[in-house]
Structure 1
Amino acid sequence: MSTYEIKVKTGDRLGAGTDAKVEIVLLDGSGRQTKPAYLDNWFRNDFEARQLDVFTIKDDTDIPDVTEIKIRRDQAGLFSDWYVEKIEVLNKRIGTASVFPILRWIRPDVDLYVGKFDTLLPQFDPRRDQRNAELELKKKLYEYEEKVSGLPVQVKKVPEDEEFSISAKWDLLKRKFSLLAGKSVEMIFGSGSWETLEDLTGVYSKTFGDPKEMENWKSDEHFGWQRLNSVNPNLIRLCTDIPSKFGVTDECIKECLDGLTLSEAMSKKRLFIVDLEILDGITCVEGYISPVPIALLFVNGTGKLMPVAIQLFQQKGPENPVFVPTDPPYTWLFAKMWYNVADANYHQALTHLGFTHLLMEGICVATNRCLSPSHPMFKLLAPHFLFIIAINSRGLNYLVSPGGWIDKTMAIGAVGILELTKKGADSWRMNIEGNYAEFLKSRGVYCNDGSILPTFYQRDDSMMLYGAIRDYVTKYVNLYYDTNDKIIHDVEIQTFGQELTKSKSDGGCGILGVPFENGKFSKADQLIEVFTSVIFSSSVLHAASNFPQYDAYGFPPNYPTKIRGVPPKNKNPLKEEDIVKSLIDKSTTLDAMVITRILSERSTNALGDFEVTYTYDPAAVKIVEEFRQNLKDISLKMLKEMKNWCKNMISLSGRNSKFHQYLTYN
């Protein structure tokens, strides 16, 4: 008799555990197989969620190398559904182990065959009927729906595969009340409006800590830094001409350009512009206004990006002046705050919600509909879609619903957010906006030597990560598609391309710029572009737009999401009390702080540190390990550069300065 040790890891899904009877058969691919054996440990509750169970079976058939298993369950017990992460089989006589990634719900009274490593293209799968039946079922579970007309497609109903295992962790209301509990925060804040800026700044040390952008929020240097390194660095572009609608002139900013004219500054690639024309016509919450601004920024002699002109609405005119740094200090500060209202609303609607949540959900649905769990490209993409469908479902219901957080805290509210998301998502192209290097080039800010925008640190860091992701994807794709024929004859990857590019009205995602030419993928470079775009958008771009939210929005004057009153129509001097009167009230400030603090928490692992392992094929595992090492090297390089920068800043500012204290604290 041969003895086999069977390790079964039940997955981390809501309702993953089972009380059903489970049997297993071991096969070697040449017709040899063991008899069906029930997996059951007496006096133990087997197959609970996230649990590893070990069984020993004996059989008179000796299979040195188990290449396939057959598993089956019945419907016994109150809870018979079962989600399995993986099964490992060890032949104890010779010590040979085989791993079988399952990563599926086991359907009742159906034989499921799973091969060793379970990674193969459809044309090489000996169980094609099983594979096709599984995909047909997934197409019923993952149906497209345009839930709001004009928005990217989403899943019609959240499948059980996508539900959170611990729902409370993702319940924004519960987390909000948990964050508030025991702090007596409402008593610290009180009610009504803020009386002074000091009144506002005093609450942070008693509650959630100082947002990092609170330190230097009034300065022009900080405003320029925000355009490059805060939550929304994707708008700034090289200025090559001054739009006729923009009233800026050489005369009005001559003191701000280091002695250059506008034309000379443009020729030296030191002038940059942001035009938020896309906000024109977007609905606002009653009683609030969102500007539709144009901002001009200049790289000074020390390499820092500085704002030199802000026009708050599109068409120049006597009641729409161009505000400049030489205006009365609080008037200029107020213009910057109003600009940030528009920038913040764009960020939430498009940079965050539209481009990293909703567009990626449509691609996630296409991946699940078209690619078998056995497909190597499914295993490449799946770790980056973790919880995206469930997060989007809850986020839209709680944050963007009528009367929700967006309505309460943002100038354009839920209606305007959805209008703006529709407007921008319709023009997103995978080969431009979805290709980070090309997106930078299209805006004239691509640079690998620091000669353009030398303080654009987020660009430089992101380009290193983009390169690491592209290298990882390239190796992974070429491992399985070493010839173009394998791509051309892969029916699943071709169906995936069709559904990505098919219009929403025809039942697809309607994504533009996918390199799916003449109705097919035909070479590896096309797949590399698609998968790099999806992984980079789902990880790096999402992290950059999501995790710094408390640091940006936690202190309302720094990055106001709405302002009371109307934007200034002249350059009359203002006072600090005018700024304070414009701020959102204490209750809304608290709500903005709490939600952005929750959203800024890292609830999933870092890039490359996958919560669920999909890849077991040894050649692919090696590529994943190389990717992780590359990310580690990049992280160490970033840390070294940051330490050097901090040392330089401390030496320039002096050890007793507030800036030194800030750097030391953070």
Structure 2
Amino acid sequence: MTSLVKSNVDESQKLKGTVVLVQKNVLSFNAPAAAQSFGGIIGRTIDISGDIDGSIVDPATSFLGNSVALRLISATKDDGNGQGKVGKQTFLEGVLTSIPTLEDKQTAYSIHFEWDHNNMGVPGAFYIENFKQDEFFLVSLTLEDVPNHGTLNFVCNSWVYNVVKYKTDRIFFTNKTYLPSETPLPLVYYRHEELKTLRGDGTGERKVWERIYDYDVYNDLGEPDKDATLARPVLGGSSTMPYPRRGRTGREPTKEDPKTESRSGYFYIPRDELLGHTESSNFLVDILKSVSQNAIPQLKSLGTLREDQPEFNSFEDVLSLFYGESSVFSVPKVIEVDHSAWMTDEEFAREMIAGVNPNVITKVLEFPPKSKVDRKLYGDNTTTITKEQLERNMGEVNVEQAIQDNRLYILDHHDAIMPYLGKINATGAKAYATRTFLFLQDDGTLKPLAVELSKPNLQGDSLGPVSSVYLPATERVETSLWLLSKAYVVVNDACYHELISHWLKTHAVVEPFIIATNRHLSVVHPIQKLLLPHYRNTMNINSGARKALINAGGTIESTYLLGAYSMEMSADVYKDWVFTEQGLPSDLIKRGVAIEDSSSPYGLRLLIEDYPYASDGLEIWGAIKSWVEDYVNFYYKSDATIVQDSELQAFWKELVEVGHGDLKNATWWFKMQTREELIEACTILIWITSTLHASVNFGQYPYGGYIVNRPTKSRRFMPKKGSPEYDELINDYEKVYLSTITPKNEALLNMTVLELLSTHVSDEQYLGQRIEGDLWTSDSQPIEAYKRFGAKLAEIEKNLIEKNNDELLTNRYGPVKMPYTILYPSSEAGLTFRGIPNSISI
């Protein structure tokens, strides 16, 4: 190798370095392998491969010449003004071909810096300038044999554009970790200036190359300029429709509504949130958009959807989507072993504690349970189910005994759905708000006791709902009515799951944390390093959701019951969101499914002992908290250091007052004055981004891919005795069931999107892994603690496998013979029904 830059400087005053980067024009943005290989229609319907600009450039020659320059910045010697001395501009040299650690598409370049260590000290940062037209992805800089130090690692993982795009120089720091008060004085200025750059000035429309993190309300979901029916209210910034903040884009307002931001142009996210160098990230959003727009036409072209067959006529019709030569979807796990076990009461109940929405069921504390629906607006919403009806299927136990013995539970979607039913049913839907009571049996399984279906009184909402009660039955028509009643329950549950458990309580609530972190916690701050892996790709996927999933007329509105009122309902529920209750132990205790018990692991005891989501989740929770405790206590030696950490305090203040500003007056927020508070906050946040999201996301297709098991809409009311619909139910219950639930078009679109969302990409980073390997910090003790965390997760996975082999734990596999594997920490790529990614990355 021959250097292109000659120098007469003494070799002893040179520092040898290696720069690793990935060039834009050698990246081939292919669809995730899983998206092309799983049995769905994604790979068959969408052209999502090809280079960004179609050019093919030799990576070994394209950087020749003075195209990329670096300047080292001292961490130990200042320039007389308190700023670290800056070295001379130095350009990349030749390509290094003998580095075994290089990943696919990465290229390593040598570089030699003129650096008199006696005068300049030890480098702590560097500036980089890109004089090429195209951006590149900077992976790292490594300096070898630094006097008085040894090897220095700079982990970068950032896009670098042409210098003309930036108002301030691009700077990167070593992998050293400093609290603000411990920052070497020559680096203090650079630390502050970089954070100022990331905050921006709050003005203007953001451009694709920018790195600015700022807040805005959800005011870009509607398109009033396109169609008046696509207008949507602003979410956030008011007490009536509070909401977490999203990343600011700064686009122009619409003509029809100045409060609504235009959806034209680029859906900006800070550039490094779009990890375009990876296989999965860059086109993930476009895949989602293409699916939502193209799935139905493509299914028609494949013959799966025919104009003369707008409905599924039998369960066998639905099954044909998964089996035989004409199949276009992977077989959902819920029907892999048995095609009809989903219909059983046991499976219906089991999915409330081991399904895709396993954290809503609550213990009944009193009978009747109290409703929170506004009595003035909606009348008396007390349940019409009687004790006598419940006790028919409780053996010798009465309701009072069941409550006292912690054996009576409820899946209650009544209060969330009821205020919207009048508007929903006026659009053509035929839906109910539901309550389902369940009894904990001696064998540990849950038994449904009764379902209540309520709809608004046609004489006026204030008169209170009209309700009907359905009980388990074995006679033919009553059995069909009972099956239908359970379908209405699942429709409620599917909507609540997608809008609340999944979107609101993971995706939406986390985005303000990401923004506040990047605005106030420097890349060398220990808490930034702790949280960074748990933010990977979240702003990108959230942006994609605003593009194609939660927007007016998007997939969620098209395929779920709430329709145009979907996001409004999530804003209603956000009013009662409490961050400090999002950790698993607090959630279980709040829902009454566990009680505090200092003698039990994690300080609580499950009242439903065989509760797969809770028991598995507690093991993961314990591992996360232990890791966070080790980490936080390494950097913070006392509570005083928490209070004195200026960046941490600024981060938390802005998160509460701006990011979640509509709830800023809530008294439950941590004050962030103690190590205990910081540990709990970080543990909750990591839990939400990893395990909680995994539990409500990667089971979507395994359970809901068979639309008959988890319908998302209802189009008919329950048949009344003596009506033609009732007679039809007697003669062909499958046809009535299918004409009641999600219609064929919407079902196919929903199934297509769920299959994609439930699939792991090949470059996913799972809990206990870091993309930087061991180089994310130079501190050895946190690295060792993180390795212990990874080892603990591996041990937990073995424990969970053993649990699934225990035949006494029947809730773990149920009548469908579907082991609860979703919280196994590791996974391969594909539709695996397991694996906990670090972040909300899909």
TM-score by length of 1: 0.87
**Per-residue displacement from partner, 1:343-373 (whole Å, max 9, x unpaired)?**
1111111101101001101111111111111
Q: How does 1:595-606 map to 2 (within 5 A)?
A: 595-603=753-761, 604-606=764-766
Shift of 1:332: 0.4
What are the ranges of 5 or more consecutive residues in structure 2 without an aligned counterpart? 1-10, 28-58, 79-83, 201-211, 219-233, 236-240, 250-268, 370-381, 458-463, 822-831, 834-842
Structure 1 residue aligned with 2:829: none
| Local SS of the residue matching 1:29 | strand
Shift of 1:313: 1.7
CA contact (8 A) 2:145 2:151 kept: yes
Identity %: 23
CA contact (8 A) 1:385 1:538 kept: yes
Take 2:748 and 2:346, find their aligned partners in 1: how far apart are those partners?
A: 27
| Local SS of the residue matching 2:515 | helix
Structure 1 residue aligned with 2:195: 135
Structure 2 residue aligned with 1:457: 612
CA RMSD of aligned residues (A): 3.9
Shift of 1:24: 3.8
CA contact (8 A) 1:7 1:54 kept: yes
Take 2:126 and 2:103, find their aligned partners in 1: how far apart are those partners?
A: 17
CA contact (8 A) 2:77 2:121 kept: no
Is 1:640 paired with 2:797? no
Structure 2 residue aligned with 1:516: 670
Take 1:508 and 1:253, find their aligned partners in 2: how far apart are those partners?
A: 41
Take 2:691 and 2:667, find their aligned partners in 1: how far apart are those partners?
A: 20
Take 1:304 and 1:531, find their aligned partners in 2: how far apart are those partners?
A: 34
Shift of 1:303: 1.1
Which stretch of the first structure deviates more once superposed, 206-215 or 10-19?
10-19
What are the ranges of 5 or more consecutive residues in structure 1 without an aligned counterpart? none
Change (3 A) 1:175 1:250: closer
Shift of 1:561: 0.4
| Local SS of the residue matching 2:567 | helix
| Local SS of the residue matching 1:365 | helix
**Per-residue displacement from partner, 1:593-612 (whole Å, max 9, x unpaired)?**
11100010123322122345
Change (3 A) 1:389 1:648: closer
Take 1:490 and 1:162, find their aligned partners in 2: how far apart are those partners?
A: 26
Change (3 A) 1:55 1:652: closer
The amino acid across from 1:212 in the alignment is K
Take 1:650 and 1:305, find their aligned partners in 2: how far apart are those partners?
A: 12
Structure 2 residue aligned with 1:192: 310
Take 2:800 and 2:17, find their aligned partners in 1: how far apart are those partners?
A: 44
| Local SS of the residue matching 2:486 | helix
Structure 1 residue aligned with 2:398: 261
CA contact (8 A) 1:247 1:322 kept: yes
Q: How does 1:25-36 map to 2 (within 5 A)?
A: 25=72, 29=76, 36=88
Structure 2 residue aligned with 1:621: 783
Is 1:309 paired with 2:450? yes
Q: Which residue of 317, 321, 340 corresponds with 2:468?
A: 321
CA contact (8 A) 1:358 1:392 kept: yes
Take 2:299 and 2:745, find their aligned partners in 1: how far apart are those partners?
A: 15
CA contact (8 A) 1:153 1:509 kept: no
Which stretch of the first structure deviates more once superposed, 560-569 or 106-115?
106-115
CA contact (8 A) 1:13 1:164 kept: no
Is 1:213 paired with 2:324? no
Take 1:258 and 1:11, find their aligned partners in 2: how far apart are those partners?
A: 68
Take 2:188 and 2:217, find their aligned partners in 1: how far apart are those partners?
A: 32
The amino acid across from 1:159 in the alignment is P
Shift of 1:325: 0.6
Structure 2 residue aligned with 1:152: 244
CA contact (8 A) 1:319 1:570 kept: no
**Per-residue displacement from partner, 1:628-666 (whole Å, max 9, x unpaired)?**
11111111111121133499899999xxxx959999x99
The amino acid across from 2:393 in the alignment is C
Take 1:370 and 1:443, find their aligned partners in 2: how far apart are those partners?
A: 35
**Per-residue displacement from partner, 1:461-512 (whole Å, max 9, x unpaired)?**
111111111111111111111122221111111111211221569x687485
Structure 1 residue aligned with 2:768: 608
Shift of 1:12: 9.4
Take 1:641 and 1:121, find their aligned partners in 2: how far apart are those partners?
A: 42
Is 1:532 paired with 2:643? no
CA contact (8 A) 2:531 2:686 kept: yes
Q: Which residue of 239, 243, 246 corresponds with 2:364?
A: 239
Shift of 1:565: 1.2
Take 1:293 and 1:71, find their aligned partners in 2: how far apart are those partners?
A: 60
Take 1:237 and 1:629, find their aligned partners in 2: how far apart are those partners?
A: 34
Q: Which residue of 523, 534, 540 corresponds with 1:390?
A: 540
TM-score by length of 2: 0.70
| Local SS of the residue matching 1:274 | strand
Which stretch of the first structure deviates more once superposed, 529-538 or 107-116?
107-116
Structure 1 residue aligned with 2:17: 6
Take 1:443 and 1:647, find their aligned partners in 2: how far apart are those partners?
A: 22
Is 1:583 paired with 2:737? no
Change (3 A) 1:513 1:387: farther
Structure 2 residue aligned with 1:444: 592
Take 2:466 and 2:128, find their aligned partners in 1: how far apart are those partners?
A: 74
The amino acid across from 2:443 in the alignment is T
Structure 1 residue aligned with 2:262: none
Structure 2 residue aligned with 1:336: 486
Which stretch of the first structure deviates more once superposed, 218-227 or 25-34?
25-34
Take 2:452 and 2:170, find their aligned partners in 1: how far apart are those partners?
A: 64
Is 1:169 paired with 2:284? yes
| Local SS of the residue matching 1:641 | helix
Shift of 1:307: 0.9
Take 2:442 and 2:567, find their aligned partners in 1: how far apart are those partners?
A: 41
Structure 2 residue aligned with 1:203: 321
**Per-residue displacement from partner, 1:547-591 (whole Å, max 9, x unpaired)?**
111122211221110022124567968441321322333322211
Take 1:307 and 1:164, find their aligned partners in 2: how far apart are those partners?
A: 46
Shift of 1:255: 3.6
**Per-residue displacement from partner, 1:193-233 (whole Å, max 9, x unpaired)?**
11111222122122223212234210000011111111112
The amino acid across from 1:280 in the alignment is M
